[in-house]
Amino acid sequence: MFAWAQLAIGAALGLGFSVALIRWLAPLGWMDRPDLTRKHHARPTARTGGVALWLGLALLQATGKFPFYLHALEWVAVHGMALIGLLDDRLNLRARYKAAGGLIIALLLAFHASQGLSKASGHVPFLGMDLPTNPILLFPILLMWFWAIPQAYNLIDGINGLSMGFAALLLGVLGWNLGIQSSLMWGGLVAVMALNFPKAHHFLGDCGALMLGTLFANLAIDVLAYRDPDLLLWMFAYPIVDVTLVVGLRRWQGRALGSADRNHLHHWMMDQVGKRAWIATPLLLCLAGLPMLRATSLPWHQPISTLGFLVLLGVSLKAFKDRATRPLRAITQSHNQIRHPIPFIVTEAMRESPSGSHPKL
């Protein structure tokens, strides 16, 4: 009963923060405008879901109710990335500035984590190898992890409910490993997600995506790196495969890696389901969740997780084939649409919002 009470309190706080921010913060410039080349919403939508989650997370930290332990430096990193995302949502920062800020934070986290791992044991088993826990060896690996995972998490935030649903899966598996109940966090996350899926009243924005990516990158290292680092790859198989798909397609098509397109797995899935767009998110969360079972002790978790990863890989290869074999005329038309967006009707809500939207790469 206590867990249900915490769930209700978390949901009430998440819903309250969300409604207040949609009403009062969004009109000040935190709006996502339609873009018919890659986005699916038809009218300006508040980009405040991440801010609601940030406020809830800060409240849990301040009251000592956050269920997992995080070092002070890790908290600084989480809040720092949330701030970078918040500024980007409002000011549309250049990609180089976001990348530089994320790199600085990743450097600090990699140094901290490499020092901790080097003191814990003499070696770390990883991909069938015994890696010595020398900070010089671990530092570049951890640097790549702490820089890439928040960015990859940000890139999967492309359709309603996907990134927050992925956060719920991560929260459940990490809590399973430590025997921790995180009902307050679950309640807040579900409440914020309820206003995003299936119909979006607000979006997560870069504030929420970068914050959640950094939070779970830290928690995963703290929970799994000392026991079985291979589980990190199983937990984040979906964003890793998605980014690999996009990079491969852009290289195949001879396009710049930083260009915007519709080559993500969620874009391909939306094309497959057509008018039944709401089905795409549950399907993608199943693809993301099955490999995570490797980090649990459920019956048959190893073969099921292996099968899940193979299905995810197979779907990604099918998406690559479909995108790579499109007629040249369709690709050229897509490029032209991105350079010259299709005009859309300007509503009063758009006129009130001085900020523009920016694509997820």
How does pLDDT run across 307-361, given as a tens digit for each residue?
999 999 999 999 999 998 875 444 444 444 444 443 333 334 333 333 333 344 4
| Span 109-141, pLDDT tens digits | 999 998 888 777 677 777 777 777 778 888 999
Q: pLDDT value at position 40?
A: 59
Give the separation between CA 329 and CA 345, rounded to whole angstroms: 27
| Local structure of residue 229 (DSSP, 8 states) | T
42 compared with 115, residue with greater pLDDT: 115
Q: Where are the domains of the chain?
A: 2-352
- Least confident piece of the model among 8-12, 116-120, 234-238, 239-243: 116-120
Q: pLDDT value at position 262?
A: 85
Q: Is the pLDDT of residue 255 over 60?
A: yes
Give the separation between CA 137 and CA 140, rounded to whole angstroms: 7
Provide mean pLDDT across the span 292-300. Answer: 92
Give the separation between CA 270 and CA 279, rounded to whole angstroms: 8
Q: Please say whether the beta carbons of 45 and 70 come within 8 A.
A: no
Q: Which residue has the tokens 């995302």?
A: 85
Which pLDDT band, with edges at 50, 70 and 90, does 194 fall under?
Answer: very high
121 compared with 83, residue with greater pLDDT: 83
Provide mean pLDDT across the span 66-91. Answer: 95
How many of the other CB atoms lie within 10 Å of CB of 276?
9
Q: Token digits for 308?
A: 């899940």
Inter-helix orientation angle 72-91/135-155, to 10°: 40
Q: Please say whether the beta carbons of 175 and 43 come within 8 A.
A: no
Which pLDDT band, with edges at 50, 70 and 90, does 37 fall under?
Answer: low
Q: pLDDT value at position 122?
A: 72
Average pLDDT, the chain: 85
Q: Is the pLDDT of residue 174 over 80?
A: yes
- Least confident piece of the model among 112-121, 202-211, 296-305: 112-121
Of all residues in the chain, the percent with pLDDT exceeding 70 is 87
Q: pLDDT value at position 41?
A: 58
Give the separation between CA 203 and CA 154, rounded to whole angstroms: 12
What's the first-to-final CA gap in the chain, in angstroms?
A: 44
Of all residues in the chain, the percent with pLDDT exceeding 90 is 61
Assessment of whether the complete model's pTM goes beyond 0.85: yes
Q: Please say whether the beta carbons of 210 and 85 come within 8 A.
A: yes
Give the separation between CA 38 and CA 209, rounded to whole angstroms: 18
Q: pLDDT value at position 340?
A: 40
**What is the full DSSP assignment across 253-312?**
TT--TT---S-SHHHHHHHHHTT-GGGHHHHHHHHHHHHHGGGS--TTHHHHHHHHHHHH
**What is the full DSSP assignment across 5-33?**
HHHHHHHHHHHHHHHHHHHHTGGGT-EE-
Q: pLDDT value at position 138?
A: 87
201 compared with 34, residue with greater pLDDT: 201
Q: Is the pLDDT of residue 249 over 50?
A: yes
